[in-house]
Amino acid sequence: MSRSFSSPPRLIMGEDALETAATQLPSLGTKVLIVTDPGIVAAGIHDQVHAILTDSGLPIDTFSEVVGNPDIATVEKADAARAAAGSDIVVAIGGGSSIDVAKSVAVIATNGGRIGDYEGVDRFSTPPLPVLVVPTTVGSGSEVTKGAVITDPDTHVKMVIVSDLMFARIAILDPRVVAGLPGRIAATTGMDALTHAIEAYVAKGANPVTDAINLGAIEIIGQNLVPASQGDPEALYQMLVASSMAGIGFHDAGLGAVHALANTLGGHFGIHHGTANALFLPYVMDFNLPAAPERFARIAQALGEDVAGLSAEDAARRASERVHRLAEETAVPRTLTELDIPEDAIPALAADALGQADLPGNPREASLQDLTDLYRRAL
């Protein structure tokens, strides 16, 4: 079976990345709409970015009502703001939610209709408006992926909209933007990035290009996740870069059962995506181990484990043990009970997870019973 790898967008990273990006805005359009959330405004990050982008000379409007696990209505409110302002460039400032809303607005601005019309792969044909992305968390990878995830409020299902046309033009990785990221958010979004890199490294669509990028991301995350969760600014910047690497590493390789379980939990209960991934990651690694022991052994090594002299199976087990410790050291929630998810929700969750788009990429086939068992392990 053939594999593919697509490489846009341009990444601008490091000190002054925002200033560099501002010089490129006029080549993309005439009016900017910033899409962000109230937390980014309250943290002062919106004003910080806005001030630098103003150097472009372009007028800038802001929509700041993005919510977590954004739904169709959020996209439509943002698009109404864009239409009212006449914006032809969309700049996302935020985590995966703001980025996915911005990408979705860019699609319906040029294609019309509702974002749900484009659920699936390559369902629209007109190129969206140009999108610039300023990630402010260290996990979603959405700044470099060619898709968006939007919740359908009627079915609670997270719709995935994917197209090569959906890449942002520029992703801006500026250390100043993440320097003040609260430890809890660094931990949970960092766990999302780690999940991307690990799931994609063992996924059915993995290939030599994504392997190299994902192993690199796993190594950086293994070294920096804990200090980042304690507020170390250099570790936060390293996590920002690793999170984009993991995004590049997963969008063609695909993901697996962790995301199927986590997206379903997010759709039903609004649980933060990174938190949900952190819950299931080590259990799914154990479940998948028989399908790819050598790969999990390599993950253990990338996470800094000494596996010399161990069998592939023993070395592979070190990987999930290390992930358990990372979860402990970063103090992310470890059980469904802590998140107030009742045990009797599991049958419906497992049934929906079985239909999740990420599941077929998992290296080991997971039945309804397997998914039920995985939810139970996380109780």
378 with 335: CB under 8 angstroms? yes
- As given in the structure block, the two tokens for residue 17 are 């990345």
Question: Is the Cβ of residue 181 or residue 255 nearer to Fe ion in the bound state?
Answer: 255
Residue 13 CB, shortest distance to Fe ion, in Å, is 21
Site string for Fe ion, 110-129 (x = CB under 5 A): --------------------
Token pair belonging to 315: 């070395």
Which residues on adjacent β-strands are paired with residue 158? 151
Per CB under 5 A, which region of 35-43, 188-196, 302-310, 330-338 contacts Fe ion? 188-196
At its nearest, how many Å lie between Fe ion and the CB of residue 141?
Answer: 7
Min separation Cβ 372 and Fe ion, Å: 22
Nearer to Fe ion, 166 or 297 (CB): 166
The count of C-alpha atoms lying within 13 angstroms of the C-alpha of 134, restricted to the half-sphere facing its C-beta, is 30
Contact criterion met (CB below 8 Å) for 169 and 126: no
Report which residue's Cβ sits closest to Fe ion.
Answer: 192
**Residue (297 or 323) nearer to Fe ion, CB:** 323
Query: How many angstroms separate the Cα of 374 from the Cα of each of 288, 342, 370?
Result: 11, 15, 6
Kindly tell me the number of DSSP H helices and DSSP E strands found in the chain.
15, 9
Residue 361 carries which DSSP code? Answer: G
Q: Please choose, out of 29-37, 47-55, 154-162, 187-195, the segment that lies near Fe ion by the rule CB under 5 A.
A: 187-195
In the complex with Fe ion, the residue whose CB is nearer, 143 or 192, is: 192
CB 27 → Fe ion: shortest distance, Å?
A: 31
Site pattern 2..21 for Fe ion (x: CB under 5 A): --------------------
Q: How far is the CB of 32 from Fe ion (least distance, A)?
A: 27
Scanning 77-85, 123-131, 191-199, 200-208 for contacts with Fe ion by CB under 5 A, the matching segment is 191-199
Q: Does 358 bind Fe ion (CB under 5 A)?
A: no
Cα–Cα distance, 92 to 103 (Å, whole number): 8
Q: CB-wise, 93 or 200, nearer to Fe ion? A: 200
Measured from the CB of residue 199, what is the shortest distance to Fe ion in angstroms? 9
- Please give the backbone phi and psi of residue 132, each rounded to the nearest 5 degrees, phi first: -110, 145
CA dist., res. 275 & res. 339, Å (int)? 10
**192 touches Fe ion (CB under 5 A):** yes
Residues in 227-286 at the binding interface with Fe ion, rule: CB under 5 A: none
Strand order in the sheet with 147-152: 120-121, 157-162, 147-152
| Placement of tokens 């010089």 in the chain | 23
Q: CB nearer to Fe ion: give 17 or 133.
A: 133
The encoded tokens of residue 225 equal: 């996740």
Q: Record the tokens describing residue 95, joined without a space.
A: 């985590």
Q: Which is nearer to Fe ion, 192 or 286 (CB)?
A: 192
Which residues contribute to the site for Fe ion (CB under 5 A)? 192
